Amino acid sequence: MSELKRIELIYQKGGFGELEYVFKHALTQDVAYASLLQSERRRLHALIGAAIEEVYAGRLEERTEELVYHFTRGEVWDKVVRHARVAAERAAALCVDDKAVEFYEIALEALRQTAETPETARAGIDLRLAMRAPLWRAGRLDPLYERFREAEDLATRHGVAEVLDTIYAYLVQYHWAKGNPDEALTYGRRCLERAAARDDLGLAVTGHYYLSRTYQTVGRHREAVGEAEALLSLLAGREHERFGLSGLPFSGACALAAFSLAELGDTTGALAMIERGRAAVDAAGHQYSAAVIDVNHAFVLARAGRLEEAVRIGESVVATCREKKFAGQFMLGACALAHAYAALGRGREAAALAGAAIERQDTAQAFSDRAWMHSTKALGHVAAGELDEAARDVARGLEFAERHRERGWEAWTRYVAGLIAERRGDRAGAARGVDEAQEIAEELGMRPLLERCRAALAKLG
């Protein structure tokens, strides 16, 4: 070391008992490293990793990335798995989802370097199931589906039957996002049946949550509220647990109930649900769950005509979702904010924001609520006087609504079609569009839309 320091190849860094020696030039380090045989590199990396474990035994969490680096290059695969999982879990808890997924993948790759045994299979299953929250929040549905299918294959081969319910529960979530409501409802009911047979609260949580979400998407808002309220009853005293979901299911259920109550015209009940959910979020300090509450708060306020408040909350939460890469909440928040923008005459901003939500959903290859996104974008174009663009979005919205059986969003989209026809001076077309929307709104009990339809028809004479 003294000779290397004398000729200025390295220098001493640090003090107070923790000395480090650093190469003065990166090129010198590269040349020195390249001169080592591969076997010697492996040996040294393994030794360095072991030394870090010894020196920092009481605070390894500070050094997980270094440990993963050295044990990977030292091919000490069990320690790669252990430390990469710790790093992934810490990143996921902070909603740094890209980094969490990176470390989970490193752990999985390390497992692939070892012989498959019941123990490594179980570790592989657990790692894949843990990827649910960060991949879901990031809107990476297809990679998540692949990981869960791999987990299902491992569980089936090694007889780990107890995790199959968790895997099947994810399929409720997946089919809802993909715009397959019938499949989502089937798997949701199956989850509740299995949960009742096994007294499995976690499985019941997923079942009720995504049944509510699916009922909401297809416009069956009374049933959506019923499932959300059933979930809230189950979670009494356990409001701060996640049960493997991306956010707190208690506050999520409050948000779902609030959204559907707003569509049914119960603004007071919706706002009470928002405050109930916010209290749980504040106590838990969970950022993603806070975004869920704010997104739905903005939606409720926009539906109630409290537009400036909706914009204030909506702009803040959309910015958070962009920064944190909360893909699904960005899409929903963007539509809630765009609705408020359109009602305030900020049409081009509304259309651009709803368009960004559509682009993001296209990237995720998801389709749920797409009709809402197109009808909201159309509202922005109407507010901006861009009627041809609005008509194109209405056509796309109706296509998605009919394909994915989203009756509630079909009603709103037909209402917007009526607005476009009225702006074009086509009174018969306007009456037809609004009347079709009114019929669906009556069927589903959507009072705010029903009131708009009646006012529009009265104006048309």
What kind of architecture, by CATH, is found in domain 40-159? Alpha Horseshoe (1.25)
CB neighbours (10 Å) of residue 236? 8
Question: How far is the C-alpha of 376 from the C-alpha of 355, rounded, in Å?
Answer: 9
CB-based contact 184:206 (threshold 8 Å): no
Q: Tokens 């657990």 map to which residue?
A: 126
CB-based contact 386:353 (threshold 8 Å): no
pLDDT of residue 10: 44
What residue spans of 159-285 are helical by DSSP H?
164-177, 181-198, 201-217, 221-234, 249-264, 267-284
Give, for all 461 residues of the chain, the pLDDT tens digit: 454 445 444 446 655 555 565 545 566 555 555 665 677 778 878 888 888 888 788 788 888 998 998 899 899 999 999 999 999 999 999 989 999 999 999 999 999 999 999 999 999 999 999 999 899 888 898 899 999 989 999 999 999 988 888 888 888 889 999 999 999 999 999 899 989 988 999 999 999 999 999 999 999 999 999 999 999 999 999 999 998 888 999 999 999 999 999 999 999 999 999 999 999 999 999 999 999 999 999 999 999 999 999 999 999 999 999 999 999 999 999 999 999 999 999 999 999 999 999 999 998 889 999 999 999 999 999 999 999 999 999 999 999 999 999 999 999 999 999 999 999 999 999 999 999 999 999 999 999 999 999 999 999 98
Q: pTM score, two decimals?
A: 0.78
User: 101-105 — which CB contacts under 8 Å span 24+ positions?
Assistant: 101/131, 101/134, 101/135, 101/138, 101/140, 103/68, 104/130, 104/131, 104/134
The alpha carbon dihedral of 78, 82, 85, 87 has a sign of negative
- 383's CB contacts (< 8 A; 6+ apart) are 341, 342, 343, 345, 346, 347, 350
Tokens encoding 352 = 């651009």
What residue spans of 244-384 are helical by DSSP H?
249-264, 267-284, 287-303, 307-324, 327-343, 347-364, 370-383
CB-based contact 44:36 (threshold 8 Å): yes
Where in the chain is CATH 1.25.40.10?
A: 40-159, 352-461
What are the backbone angles phi and psi of residue 13, rounded to the nearest 5°? Answer: -130, 140
Angle between helices 249-264 and 287-303 (to 10 degrees): 10
pLDDT of residue 1: 40
Assign domain 352-461 to a CATH class: mainly alpha
Residue 103 CA to its chain's centroid (Å): 19
